[in-house]
Amino acid sequence: MESGTAATGNDVSEAANGAAPAGEPPIEVLNPATGQPIAKVPVDSPAAVAATVARVRANQADWEAMGIEGRYHWLGKLRDWLLDNSDRVLDTMQLETGKVRADASNEPAYLADLINFYGTKAAKFIGEESVRPHSPLMAAKKLRVQYRPHQVVGIISPWNFPLILALGDAIPALQAGAAVVIKPSEFTPLGLAEVVEAWKREIGGPDVLDCVQGTGETGGALVDAVDFIQFTGSDRTGRKVMARAAETLTPVSLELGGKDPMIVLADADIDRAANAAAWGGMMNSGQICMSVERIYVEEPAYDEFVAKLTQEVAGLRQGSDDARSPKDVGAMTSPKQTAIVEDHVNDALASGARALTGGKRVDGPGDYFEPTVLVDVDHSMKVMRDETFGPVVGVMRARDEEEALRLANDSRYGLSGSVFGEKDHAEQIARRVECGAVNVNDVLANYLASDVPMGGWKESGIGYRHGEPGIKKYCRTESVVITRFGGKREPTWYPYTRGRRGLIARLVPFFNARDLKRRLGLRG
C-alpha cells in the first residue's frame, strides 16, 4: 500500500511474465459485428497484478518529481501519438466493439483535448495553495496546502468506450503525478493494450502506465494492490468494488449506471428535440451511461414529437460499416447486454407498450438490436426503471411540466439528463432535475465540457470526473504549517505555569468573535 515500499522480490518472481494461473483460460475476444473470434488474450493472475502495481509504484516518485510541466511533456507525446495513429487505434476498437466509425472516432479526439485541458490547468487545480490564517493566534504561522498524488491509481473500465473510460481517467491521474494500472473490460481489451504498448515502446514513456487483463478476479486483485480505485461500470459491480476496497480502506471513485430522462416542454423546438432524442438514444447503439432512455413530453407537444422521433429513428441505417458504406447504428458490444435489452423490451410489450419502430433483435450474423421507440410505457416497466443500455427509448405523455419533472426525478439513478424548451424556461426546469449534469436544448454535450465536473447522484456514483475535482481526487492534501518566528518556547508548551495558563485563558476568549460582540454590546 501507500507506504512507499515496493512489493517483495517474491511477489515479483511468482508473477513472472504475468502468466495465468493453471486452468485460467485466455479471454477470447469476438467481433460483435460478425460474431467471429479476433484474438485471445492471456489473463493476468492476482500475483501478476500485484507485481505490475509494485513495478510502477517503484517508478512513481521519479514521475512525481518531474513536476506538472515535465509530466505534461510526456502526456503531450501521448496526445500526438493518438492523433497520428488514430486510424490504427480506431480499426482495433471498431473490431472489438462493433461500433460504427463515427461513434468510435470521438475517442482519440476527446483524449487529446483532455491531455491539453489538464496539462494547462493542473497548476491552477493542484498547485500549492497559500492560506491566510483566520485567527490571530496563528499569525506567526505560514499556512500552505500541497497536493500529493496517490502513488498508484487503479482504473477498472467497461466496454462501451474502451479508451475514453480508461485513458480518460488515467490522464488526470498521471498529470497529478500518480502511476496508473488499468484493467479494461474483458470484452474490449485490445485497443487499450495497443495504446499502452505504444506508450512503452513507441513513445518511450516512463514506466508508470500499464494494463492488466482479465475478468472480475483480476479487477479484485487490482483493488487489493492500489492506493485509489477509479471504477466505471454497473452499479452492481460498483457495490462489490467498494466493499472490497473497504477491506484495505482504499478510497474509490465510482462512475456507475444511469437512466437518463429527457423532458420536452410544450414551447420546445420539436424538430431539434426529436433529432436530439434519436441521436442521444441511439448513438453508440444506446450503450452510453448518459444515453437518453426515458422521455417525458408535455401534452400539447406529444403527438408531433413522437411522430418526428419515430420517423428519424426508423430511417437510421444499422450494420457493420466501412468507409464505402457508412452506417448510423452499430452492433451491441456485449451479448450479456443484448439479453438485458431484449428482456426490457419484451417486458414492456407484454405489459401493454407499443413499439412504433424496432422492437426486436436482428437475425445474425453479429449482435444487433433494432433502434426502438416505445410508447404507452409507464414506471412499472423495467424499460422505464432499470438501465437498458441499448438502442431503445420509452416516451411518456406528461400532463404538464411539473408532472414531467416528477417522473424524470422518479428514479434510483441520477447521472445526467436534458430539458428542451424555450431557453430560460428550460433552464429553470433543468435546475430542478436531480442529477449530476443536465443539458439544456442538447444531449450528451456536458461530457465534452471537461471544464465542469460530472458525477452521478443517487445510485449513479460517488465522486467526479472532469473539472477541478476530476484531478484533485487523485491527490491527498498535505497541510504544511510553518513557524515564521518564535522564541525558545511557545506559550502553550511546558511548563504549565500559572502565568502561561492565564495568558491562554485570556487570549482565546479575546479572539473569540462571540465574546468580542458581547463586550461591544452587540447581539448574537
Identify which range of 89-97, 217-225, 422-430, 511-519 contacts ligand NAD by CB under 6 A.
Answer: 217-225
Decide: 475 and 149 in contact? Cβ < 8 Å.
yes
Identify which range of 13-21, 254-262, 371-379, 516-524 contacts ligand NAD by CB under 6 A.
Answer: 254-262
**Among 45, 60, 94, 160, contact with ligand NAD (rule: CB under 6 A):** 160
Which residue shows C-alpha cell 515564521?
484
461 sits near ligand NAD (criterion: CB under 6 A):
yes
Q: Hey, what amino acid is at 150?
A: H
Q: How many residues bind ligand NAD (CB under 6 A)?
A: 31
Identify which range of 51-59, 253-261, 347-355, 475-483 contacts ligand NAD by CB under 6 A.
Answer: 253-261
Gap between the Cα atoms of 156 and 136, Å rounded: 47
Segments in 448-520 forming alpha helices (H): 469-472, 498-510, 513-519
Closer by beta carbon to ligand NAD, 138 or else 462: 462
Element (H, E) at 369: strand 368-369
Q: Which three cell numbers stand for residue 138?
A: 496563528
Decide: 504 and 492 in contact? Cβ < 8 Å.
yes
**Among 456, 467, 471, 473, contact with ligand NAD (rule: CB under 6 A):** 456
Which position among 64, 96, 211, 289 bears the catalytic label?
289
Which residue shows C-alpha cell 493476468?
44
What is the x/- site pattern for ligand NAD, positions 163-202, by CB under 6 A? Answer: --x-----------------x-xx----------------
**Among 118, 147, 159, 420, contact with ligand NAD (rule: CB under 6 A):** 159
**Among 89, 195, 289, 329, contact with ligand NAD (rule: CB under 6 A):** 289
CA angle at 213 for the pair 210 and 214, rounded to the nearest 5°: 150
Least distance (Å) between residue 456 CB and ligand NAD: 6
Which position among 255, 293, 312, 401 bears the catalytic label?
255
Residues 6+ apart with CB under 8 A from 441: 268, 269, 272, 276, 418, 419, 420, 421, 423, 426
Active-site annotation holds for 217: no
Active-site annotation holds for 255: yes
Least distance (Å) between residue 415 CB and ligand NAD: 6
**Among 220, 359, 390, 421, contact with ligand NAD (rule: CB under 6 A):** 220
> DSSP states of 395-463 as a string?
EEEESSHHHHHHHHH-SSEESEEEEESSHHHHHHHHTTS-SSEEEES-SSGGGG-TTS-B--EETTEES
Decide: 180 and 59 in contact? Cβ < 8 Å.
no
**Among 116, 234, 346, 428, contact with ligand NAD (rule: CB under 6 A):** 234
What is the x/- site pattern for ligand NAD, positions 137-156, by CB under 6 A? Answer: -------------------x
Nearest residue to 142 via CA among 454, 481, 485, 505: 481
| Burial class (CB within 10 angstroms; exposed 0-12, middle 13-18, buried 19+) of 490 | exposed
257 sits near ligand NAD (criterion: CB under 6 A):
yes
**Among 119, 162, 258, 390, contact with ligand NAD (rule: CB under 6 A):** 258
Least distance (Å) between residue 221 CB and ligand NAD: 9
Element (H, E) at 95: helix 86-97
Binding site for ligand NAD (CB under 6 A): 156-160, 165, 183, 185-186, 215-216, 219-220, 223, 232-234, 237, 240-241, 255-258, 289, 334, 387, 389, 415, 456, 461
The catalytic site residues sit at 255, 289
